[in-house]
Amino acid sequence: MTAPLVLGVETSCDETSLALVDGEGRVLSSIVSSQVAAHERYGGVVPEIAARAHLANLPPLLEEALAGGGARLADVGVVAATAGPGLVGALLVGLCEGKGLAMGLGVPFVPVHHIEAHCLSPFLATDGAPARAVPPEWTALVVSGGHTHLFAFSPAGIELLARTRDDAAGEAYDKVAKMAALGYPGGPVVDRLARTGTSRHPFHLPHFKDGSLDLSFSGLKTAARDRLAGIGVAPRSGVPGGASPRPEDETPPALRDLLADFQEAVVAQLEDRLTRLVRVRPVPLLSVSGGVAANSLLRERLPAWGRAHGVEVLLPPRALTVDNAAMVAFAGLRRAAAPGEGLDAPARSRWPLESLPAC
């Protein structure tokens, strides 16, 4: 391992995570504790429950992350914690933990932008190899439960190229799963079932009159609701205490086909925006990250799209697609060299990535 050892802390939503990354971006340990079980009966993340769970999870996870990385607390040279965007109560727990540890150890504290951390996750490996070098210019597609954005990174700064105008891609997965009574979160189950169906009636591809590369997933959700009714699956909405999920093996073939159409539409929209992007600007390297980057169809199709368009497409190891502190530690390592807000950083529920200086 090479110095400095960076301790990463992630608590922006419903995963509590701690990780150790060394000075070359080797992931020495990455522990993620999912709170899905605590939130699933509500059909979504409950902020107060998330914050309290982070508080309980952090101390044992810190021990685990240090032991997993073969390190002691005194070996940590930098502490990095997610400062936003995310749920403020949840963010505050990890941010205060990170600041407290940094103050106690007398080492620098680096506040990390959660989306920048996702963008960097494809440069990391989970097999003990150092991180891949990040080139001066690259493009990033983030597809998660809260974000669907395209950014260009360059020495001049971070440029927002496109964003969803309504729902995020992962949010559409979660809403369709909820309507079809498949449980929460929806991405993994919809992905599995879609692969057992056949896409025969693709959904309409949304476009904007102004020619923008922006994305949209709410129309897809509405169209899916209408089609659910058409195949005799009564669309369900609003949970609390909702009905237990439909067992996967009882999924009717027509629903499997509908989910295949839905999944095809999500990936086709991403391909469409990327194809239009490479017509107007060079994209030598594309990083694809966020929870939806775990999707099996996306993981086949976007690298194939890249080969066809001369774009190197980097995907994170599956373990680093969910919210995790390894990506936070790596983002912190890269930002540690430049003076920043440090211990003064507040928790920010909203925080445009393009407001950050180049790194």
Enumerate binding residues for ligand KG4 (CB under 6 A). Answer: 13, 144-146, 170-171, 173-174, 185-188, 191, 290-292, 294-295, 322-323
Q: Which helix (H) or strand (E) holds 81?
A: strand 76-84
Q: Work out whether 10 is an interface residue with Zn ion (CB under 5 A).
A: no
CB 164 within 8 A of CB 149: yes
In terms of CB distance, is 4 or 296 closer to ligand KG4?
296
Binding mask 264-293 for Zn ion (x = CB under 5 A): ------------------------------
In terms of CB distance, is 185 or 332 closer to ligand KG4?
185
> Which of these, 17, 284, 305, 335, lies nearest to 140 by C-alpha position?
284
Choices 62-70, 161-169, 250-258, 320-328; region in contact with Zn ion by CB under 5 A? 320-328
**163: amino acid identity, one letter:** R
167 binds, among ligand KG4, Zn ion, none (CB under 5 to 8 A by kind): none
b/e code 277-295 from CB counts within 10 Å (16+ = b): bbeeeebebbbbbbbbbbb
Among 16, 144, 148, 295, binds Zn ion (CB under 5 A): 144
State the nearest-atom distance from the C-beta of 144 to Zn ion, in Å: 5
In terms of CB distance, is 102 or 114 closer to ligand KG4?
114
**What tokens appear for 271 in the block?**
């391909």
**What tokens appear for 247 in the block?**
């067992």
CB 71 within 8 A of CB 8: no
Q: What is the DSSP string of 118-162?
A: HHHGGG--SSSPPPPPPPSSEEEEEESSS-EEEEEEETTEEEEEE
State the nearest-atom distance from the C-beta of 136 to ligand KG4, in Å: 26
State the nearest-atom distance from the C-beta of 103 to Zn ion, in Å: 27
Q: Work out whether 323 is an interface residue with Zn ion (CB under 5 A).
A: yes
In terms of CB distance, is 45 or 179 closer to Zn ion?
45
Q: Which helix (H) or strand (E) holds 29?
A: strand 27-34
Residues that bind Zn ion in the complex, under the rule CB under 5 A:
144, 323
